[in-house]
Structure 1
Amino acid sequence: MATLVACLGACAAPPDVVEPGAFHETVALTYDNDVFTRSDDNYTNGVALTWIRGPVARERDGSLADRFARLWRGAPFLGDDREELYVAMGLGHEIFTPDDITLADPPRDDQPYAGVLFVDLALARLRPDRSDNWQLRLGLVGPSSGAEWVQTKVHETIGVDVPEGWDTQLPDEPIINLDYTRATEWLTSGDMSDAGARVVPVFGAGAGTYFTGVTAGLYGEAGWNLPDPVGAFSLRQGVGPQFLGDIGASGQPSVSFFAGLGGYATAHYLPLDGTVFSSSRSVDTEPLVGFGSFGATVRYGSLSVTFVGSVATDQFATQRSATKFGSLTVAYRF
C-alpha cells in the first residue's frame, strides 16, 4: 500500500558520467517477510525479481527497453530526454493472512487470506534532484496465485503451524493498477560525493483494482558517497520494481542510513476491501494510515544490499496486531 518499503537502494544508480548510448542493466531481488519482526499475519510475505535498464538511448535501437519507453510517450512529467529514462520490469508474489492461521474459518472481521501474483512495468525519469515514476501493475488475486501451496510448503519445511484457512481466500480476479510517484530533493548538507545528508519529500497516487488512493511521505538519508539521483519509495505495502535513485552500485564504496515517516489515504485496497467484480471476504480499511521505516544500504562495486524495517498504524478497525515487517534487497549491476 504505502509504507516506505521494498527496495530503498535496490535499483542501480547511473554512473557519474554517462556516455551517449551507454546503459546499464541491473537485477534486483527483494524479499519482504514479517519473520524479521517475529510475527506471522496481515502482510506476511512478498518476493519480487526485477530487471532494470537505463538510461534508454536516444537512438531507436529496437530493444525491449526502447519499445517499452515509446509506449509511454506523452505521459506527464517524463519529458523528452531519453538519457534520463530508466525501464523496469518485475515479477512478484505477495501473501496476506489473518492473525490466527490455525483456524479453518477465520473471523470475518480479520484480514482475509489473499495471494497476489503480478507483473510490474515501470518507466522513470531520474535526475540529480528529482525522480518521476509511472508504474503499471498487471496480475491476479486468488487460488491461481499459488499462495496456499507456497505458504503451506514453507511452513511444513520449517516445522511451524500450517495455515488452515486458505479455503476462505479471495477468489480469482484480474488486477490492473496505475501508479505515479515523485521524489524531490529538498534539503541537503555536505558533499554527496563524501559525507552528506538530504531530506526528500515523496508524493504519489494510484488508481485501479489493487490500490486506489494518495500518499505523502518524507525521508531523511545520511551517509558516505550518496548516489544521484534521489530515490522514490513504493506507494504500496508490498514488493515491486519501484524506482529509486540508487539502482545498484554507486561506483564507490558507500554506506547510508535512512528513516522516513508518512501516511496515505485509501479509497480501495484489494487485500482488505476484497475483490471488485465478485463477492469475497473483506474488512473496511481505515481512510487514513500512518507509517514509518528505517534502514541502511551498503554498496560496493556492482553490488548493493539494503535492509528496511517498516511499521504501520492499524489499517482496519478490528486489526488484532500491528502491521510490521522487514525487507531485504540485493541488487547487482552489469
Structure 2
Amino acid sequence: MQNTIAERGHHSGRWRFSLFFLVLLGTPPCLASTDTVGGTWFLSIDNDTFAQSDDHYTNGLQLGWVSGYLQSYKEGPVPDFVARALQLLPTINEQGRQRFISHSLSHRIFTPNDTETSEPITNDVPYSGLLFASLTAGAQDAEKMDAFTFYYGIVGPSARGDEVQNEFHRLIGADQVNGWENQIHDEILLNAAYEHRRRLWRFGHTTGWGGDVIGQIGGTLGNLMSMATVGVGARFGWGVPDDYGIPPQFFGEETIGSRPYTSYGTHSGLWLFALLNGSYIANAIFWDGNTFKDSMSVDYDPGIARLYLGLNARSGNWSGSFSIAKTTVPWENPTDRKRQTYGRIGIRYTY
C-alpha cells in the first residue's frame, strides 16, 4: 500500500474514531438494565493499515449477535437437536448460571510481505482467505464465564479473499495484490473451541470509578486451528460493567463476555483495557497450508504472544471500542520482522 495513502487513512481514521467516541458519549441514555435486553449486535473490523502494511494477518471482519439470557438452550435460536446437544456440555449447564447463545459470520485475509510479485513465495505466509460461521453457547455467574464455540466454513478461492482485498484496494486507489494465484486450495473448515474467563480481582464500583482483572484460558481443535491459550486482562475507568469484556483468544467469538452479570451501573461509561496472552499452536491452516493437499506453507515456531491495548465507550444502547494489537511473528520472514501490529474497531448495539 502506498505510504501517502496509508498516512492519510491513518490520520483521517484517527479523527473519525475520536468523533465517534464523542458522539457515543453524548447519546441520550436509554438502557439501564439487562432485564429488558433482547440481544446484542456486534461488528468488529481488524486491519493492519495502522502499521502501514499489507502482510501476514491483513484484514478481518466479523458480524455477530448474542442472545439475551436463557433459562435453557432450547429457548435459543438453534434447532432442537442442537439445543439438546448443548445441554450435555459441561460447565455451561450448571444451576444458577446465565446462559446465552451467539452466532457470527467472519471473513479473514492473510498475505505474505511481498504482494507485488506474482511468483510463489516459499519463505513467508501463504495467501489465504477464510470465510466461516460460528455458534457459541456460554454461561456466566458473578465469578466466571465459560463458552463453547463451533466453527464451520471454507478456506481457499471460494472464500473470495482475492476479490475482497483487490476491490478494496481499487476503491482506495492502492496497488493491486498480484500473488493470489498462489493461494491455498479450497477446504472445508471444522473447528471447536472452549474459553474460560475468571474475575480475579474487582475494585471500585460499577456506578463510578473502578475496574477489574480477568484471567483467560482456552483452546481450539480442528483443521482451522489447534492451539492452547492463557492470558490476563485488566480494565479501569468510569462505569466498568460486571461483564467479562476482554478480547477473546485469536479467532474467538467477539460477542461472548459482552453482557453484564447484573445491570449497567451507569448510563454511560468510558474505560481503558489491556490484555496479554500467549498461545501454543499445533496447526493453523493459514500458515500450514491445506490439510489434505499440497499447497504453499511456512515453517513457524509454535509459541506466539499478543498484547491488546484499547479504549471502550458506552452510552445507552450503543458501545464502541478501539484497540491496537501487537503480536509476535514466529517465523523467519524476508523482512526479519519480529512483531506485527493491527488495529481493531468494535461497535455494539443492544436492544
TM-score class, shorter-chain normalisation, is 0.7 to 0.9
1:127 to 120, 130, 141: 141
Residue pair 1:97, 1:113 contacting (<8 A) in 2 also: yes
In the alignment, is residue 271 of structure 1 matched against residue 286 of structure 2? yes
In the alignment, is residue 64 of structure 1 matched against residue 80 of structure 2? no
- 2:156 maps to 142
C-alpha spacing 1:60/1:112, structure 2 compared with 1 (3 Å): closer
Structure-1 separation of matches of 2:228 and 2:73 = 36
- 1:293 maps to 308
Structure-2 separation of matches of 1:59 and 1:203 = 24
Letter in 2 for 1:243: I
1:201 to 215, 218, 223: 215
2:91 to 77, 81, 102: 77
- 1:254 maps to 269
Letter in 2 for 1:326: G
In the alignment, is residue 190 of structure 1 matched against residue 207 of structure 2? no
How far residue 241 of structure 1 moved from its aligned partner, in angstroms, is: 3.8
C-alpha spacing 1:162/1:72, structure 2 compared with 1 (3 Å): same
How far residue 58 of structure 1 moved from its aligned partner, in angstroms, is: 4.6
C-alpha spacing 1:282/1:28, structure 2 compared with 1 (3 Å): same
- 1:41 maps to 55
Secondary structure in structure 2 of the residue aligned to 1:198? strand
- 1:329 maps to 346
In the alignment, is residue 243 of structure 1 matched against residue 259 of structure 2? no
Q: 1:213-241, CA deviations, whole angstroms, 9 ceiling, x for partnerless residues?
A: 101111111011111232353221x4744
Structure-1 separation of matches of 2:288 and 2:332 = 13
Residue pair 1:179, 1:205 contacting (<8 A) in 2 also: yes
C-alpha spacing 1:193/1:144, structure 2 compared with 1 (3 Å): same
Letter in 1 for 2:344: S
Structure-2 separation of matches of 1:260 and 1:319 = 29
C-alpha spacing 1:94/1:100, structure 2 compared with 1 (3 Å): same
Which is bigger in relative contact order (C-alpha 8 A, separation at least 6)?
A: 1
Structure-1 separation of matches of 2:334 and 2:143 = 39
Secondary structure in structure 1 of the residue aligned to 2:166? helix
C-alpha spacing 1:83/1:189, structure 2 compared with 1 (3 Å): closer
Structure-2 separation of matches of 1:100 and 1:269 = 21
Q: 1:19-54, CA deviations, whole angstroms, 9 ceiling, x for partnerless residues?
A: xxx652111111111112222110001111111102
C-alpha spacing 1:245/1:129, structure 2 compared with 1 (3 Å): farther
Q: What is the aligned residue count?
A: 315
How far residue 78 of structure 1 moved from its aligned partner, in angstroms, is: 0.5
- C-alpha RMSD of matched pairs (Å): 2.2
1:26 to 40, 50, 58: 40
C-alpha spacing 1:25/1:319, structure 2 compared with 1 (3 Å): farther
Residue pair 2:320, 2:347 contacting (<8 A) in 1 also: yes
Residue pair 2:38, 2:68 contacting (<8 A) in 1 also: yes
Query: Which structure's residues are more often helix, by fraction?
Result: 2
Letter in 2 for 1:277: F
- For residues 167-186 of structure 1, the aligned pairs below 5 Å read 167-186=181-200
Residue pair 1:46, 1:239 contacting (<8 A) in 2 also: no
Q: TM-score if structure 2 supplies the norm length? A: 0.84
- 1:164 maps to 178
In the alignment, is residue 223 of structure 1 matched against residue 237 of structure 2? yes
How far residue 124 of structure 1 moved from its aligned partner, in angstroms, is: 1.1
Q: TM-score if structure 1 supplies the norm length? A: 0.88
Letter in 1 for 2:345: L
How far residue 191 of structure 1 moved from its aligned partner, in angstroms, is: 1.6
- Max radius of gyration: which structure? 2
Secondary structure in structure 1 of the residue aligned to 2:164? helix
Letter in 2 for 1:295: G
- 1:110 maps to 124
What residue ranges of structure 1 are gaps of 5+ in the alignment? Answer: 1-13
Structure-2 separation of matches of 1:268 and 1:59 = 31
Letter in 2 for 1:315: P
C-alpha spacing 1:195/1:94, structure 2 compared with 1 (3 Å): same
Residue pair 1:28, 1:331 contacting (<8 A) in 2 also: yes
1:281 to 296, 299, 314: 296
1:308 to 323, 328, 332: 323
Secondary structure in structure 2 of the residue aligned to 1:64? coil
Secondary structure in structure 2 of the residue aligned to 1:112? coil
Secondary structure in structure 1 of the residue aligned to 2:304? strand
Q: 1:58-101, CA deviations, whole angstroms, 9 ceiling, x for partnerless residues?
A: 5955x525845433112121024486111110111001111011
How far residue 126 of structure 1 moved from its aligned partner, in angstroms, is: 2.0
